[in-house]
Amino acid sequence: MKNYHVAIVGATGAVGAELLRVLERRSFPVASLRALSSARSAGKSVLFRGESIKVEELDENSFAKIDIAFFSAGGDVSRKFVPIARNAGAISIDNTSAFRIEPDVPLVIPEINGEDVKQHRGVIANPNCTTAVALMALYPLHRAFGVKRVFAASYQAVSGSGQRAIDELREQVAASAQDRQSTPQVYPHQIAFNVLPHVDTFLETGYTKEEMKFQNEGRKIMHLPEFRASITCVRVPVYRAHSVAVSAEFEREVSVEQAHEVLAKAPGLELVDQPNKSRYPMPLTVAGKDNCEVGRVRIDCAFDNGLSFWVSGDQLLKGAALNAVQIAELL
């Protein structure tokens, strides 16, 4: 097996740190690893396979002799440096929204549309974290019953906003316990002991960009241009792992028993559905797990041929780092 020269852009961030752990844990064949970041973090060190690697400042010469470059440093960075990496001969796996809807850029969840990797022209996009978690359960049901439309609400952990948001929640919890004030920096309001129906920026329609990603990315990943989805994305005071409550309408009649059979066999997904025993997916049980979990499966009382279900998944793993490494494994 060939070994690959790998670069991680945003190596000191929450997703970058997880990428390092996933590459090591899954024994990805790394010949060399280059950790890249902004000037602010350059000079720090990251640990990989027991070796301390100095973080370098990202510049136009960072991709010489690199085979695969993982990007997780924000859309502006990706828009500037992904073309540079491609011109240097590297294949970029981008965790931002910069290229997801570009027609010539595959948007890939390996368990769903891994074959699309073959169409890459030097760039492969990683989907939005909420989209990835939800589709892990929705797509197997679509294959069996044909999804038409979805109504959903997300319960998104602060890890989706990066390390600063994780630190902010931790500080606000501590401040509350000490009966002192802590001014929000990352979010417009306090997130501790609160929920914010506000993820990403608002559009003229009243939806946010995050909410539209679910429909637009879902259409591309599932190869389903008529797919419709209305979702409200909510930030909750959870450190890690997203959850989504989904109500889906299908073309064909579906029963709970049939849905259980389909979901139990789906790759990367675990069926946890014994509500009478208080067994259902929760952020605490999926945090740090590769697989997503699905439960609370029931006939939707507002749809014909409808199902409601609840799915949880680790935002930093299946929603970001793990999915990106799985794409690299396909390559």
Which residues are the active-site residues?
A: 129, 242
CB of 116 closer than 8 Å to CB of 195: no
Q: Are 75 and 98 in contact (CB under 8 A)?
A: yes
The answer to whether the CB of 283 falls within 8 A of the CB of 312 is yes
Listed residue (82, 152, 154, 160) closest to 123, CA to CA: 82
In angstroms, the CA 121 to CA 253 distance is 40
First to last CA, the chain: 12
Q: Inter-axis angle of helices 322-330 and 14-25, to 10 degrees?
A: 50
Contact criterion met (CB below 8 Å) for 154 and 232: yes
Structure tokens at 11: 């190596």
> Within a 13 Å sphere around the CA of 24, how many CA atoms are in the beta-carbon half?
13
- Residue 143, amino acid: R
For tokens 């073959």, name the residue: 118
Contact 218, 100 (CB under 8 A): no
Burial of 99-124, coded b for 16+ CB within 10 Å and e otherwise, reads: bbeeeebbbbbbbbbeebbeebebbb
By three-state DSSP, how is residue 331 classified?
coil
